[in-house]
Amino acid sequence: MIIGNNIETIKHVGNNGQISMGKKYAGKQIQVLTLSDGTIIIKPGKFIPDNEMWLYRNNNNEMLDKAIGWAEKNKR
């Protein structure tokens, strides 16, 4: 069903608890949000692991640039 620019489809959840999203999403990461009323929202995207999140906080670009510069000058 098409509602405005949105496409609604009905999927069947298999006995193993999986649904097929189609080849468009093959190998990609998705975020699954389950609301308190049981509604499930699936969003494709690129997600950052917790142990890499520091790279994107507090303008770490300058610090990373310095570290990369140092590493390039001090090759083993």
The confidence score (pLDDT) of residue 47 equals 86
SS3 state at 1: coil
Residues, the chain: 76
DSSP string, 45-62: -----GGGGGGGSTTTHH
Tell me the per-residue pLDDT of 32-70, one tens digit each, with 9 for 90 and over.
999 999 999 999 988 888 888 888 887 788 888 888 999
Across the range 15-29, mean pLDDT stands at: 93
Q: What predicted TM-score, i.e. pTM, was given to this entire model?
A: 0.56
